[in-house]
Amino acid sequence: RVKEQGKNGYLFYTSEMNDRPLERITLENDMRIALTKEEFELFYQPQVDMNSQQIVGVEALVRWNHPERGLISPGDFIPLAEENGFIVALGTWVMEEACRQNMKWQNIGLPPIPVSVNLSVRQFEMKNLAETVRDVLIRTGLEPRYLDLEITESMTLDVSRASHILKKLKDMGVAISIDDFGTGYSSLHYLKNFPIHRLKIDRSFVRDLEHDPNDAAIVSAIIALGHNMNMQVIAEGVETEDQLLFLQKHRCDEIQGYYFSPPLSCQRFEELFRRHCKQEVTQM
Ligand code: C2E
Ligand code: MG
Ligand code: MG
Ligand code: MG
């Protein structure tokens, strides 16, 4: 069968398999051996500074190279992994791989930038998240300021516990971003209680920015809120120049989205990053 490659290299026919119990069981079993068989891979999407247009960060996004199913998107296995607890092992692997790769880029002379890693609520339930992060940083040699952890508001966190862990991480020098900001139930609660360094405006607000006055109002309000609280603001899912111009006008700090680049394999991201740095040098 010829399989259609999606924008992120996904194969589309995997999307409904969560509904089929037998498939689901197979997938759960496969998942557990996939780590040892090195079937997981990180893709990298650049985060670009609005003013300088430089790559100032990168988000690591996991994919699964399944031997029979091809490249599976995180939307198709992260929810399962969260249910069965596998996300804890996978999450640690993702963090270590992202930090190690980031260190490699620094070692070959690319400008140091933070790598963003998505955290699942299940990882907060581990007693030793802060220690795990510290160990990963020690093992990989990456300075804490080059790691950014993304948390989402859908996480039903015990606020006092979470703020304790997040404060530990902050004191270590690790940055904390709120991902998908505005889509959860406790956005402002998070801002009030957690040491947050950056807001990521969810792409559902960015998508119709040019046509929907509500979205435009929400986005400009999030930017103002972030800045009033001394946070950086990045917009996700930026696909068009009009969206970019709106965000620029409202002083959004950074953008991430297909407009600049989709998530890329490690090698392709490195090529893009190198090319980008060279351009900067020749422009000066
Ligand atoms: P996210 O953290 O909000 O990541 C952004 C998602 O938006 C990525 O989807 C990315 O490919 C997609 N995206 C980026 N730019 C655009 C754009 O311009 N337009 C559109 N339509 N989409 C864009 P992806 O890679 O499929 O990841 C989906 C979600 O899976 C992530 O959302 C994140 O919540 C989760 N995820 C991915 N990797 C990990 C991981 O290592 N651990 C955990 N816990 N979750 C992960
Ligand atoms: Mg994210
Ligand atoms: Mg997001
Ligand atoms: Mg997300």
How many Cβ atoms are within 10 Å of 174's Cβ, its own excluded?
Answer: 23
Nearest CA to ligand 1 atom 2: 118
Q: Residue 208 has which token pair?
A: 């119709």
Residue range 116-148, pLDDT digits in tens = 999 998 898 887 999 999 999 999 999 999 999
Measured at the alpha carbon of residue 146, what is the angle toward residues 34 and 207, in degrees to the nearest 5? 75
Give the pLDDT score at 268.
Answer: 98
pLDDT band for position 2 (cuts 50, 70, 90)? very low
Cα(35) to ligand 3 centroid in Å equals 24
Cα(152) to ligand 4 centroid in Å equals 6
Residue range 146-163, pLDDT digits in tens = 999 999 876 567 778 888
Average pLDDT value for the chain: 89
Is it the case that residue 18 has pLDDT exceeding 80?
no
Is it the case that residue 265 has pLDDT exceeding 70?
yes
Cα(282) to ligand 2 centroid in Å equals 32
41 lines ligand 1 (CB under 6 A): no
Q: What percent of the chain has pLDDT over 70?
A: 89
257 lines ligand 1 (CB under 6 A): yes
Give mean pLDDT, residues 15-24: 59
CA distance linking residue 50 with residue 242, whole number of Å: 14
Measured at the alpha carbon of residue 224, what is the angle toward residues 222 and 228, in degrees to the nearest 5? 115
CA distance linking residue 99 with residue 93, whole number of Å: 10
**What global pTM score does this model have?**
0.91
Give the pLDDT score at 215.
Answer: 97
61 lines ligand 1 (CB under 6 A): yes
CA distance linking residue 80 with residue 264, whole number of Å: 24
pLDDT band for position 90 (cuts 50, 70, 90)? very high
3-state secondary structure of 197: coil
Is it the case that residue 207 has pLDDT exceeding 90?
yes
Measured at the alpha carbon of residue 41, what is the angle toward residues 36 and 45, in degrees to the nearest 5? 155
Report the candidate in 279, 229, 276 with the shortest Cα–Cα distance to residue 44: 276
CA distance linking residue 8 with residue 258, whole number of Å: 10
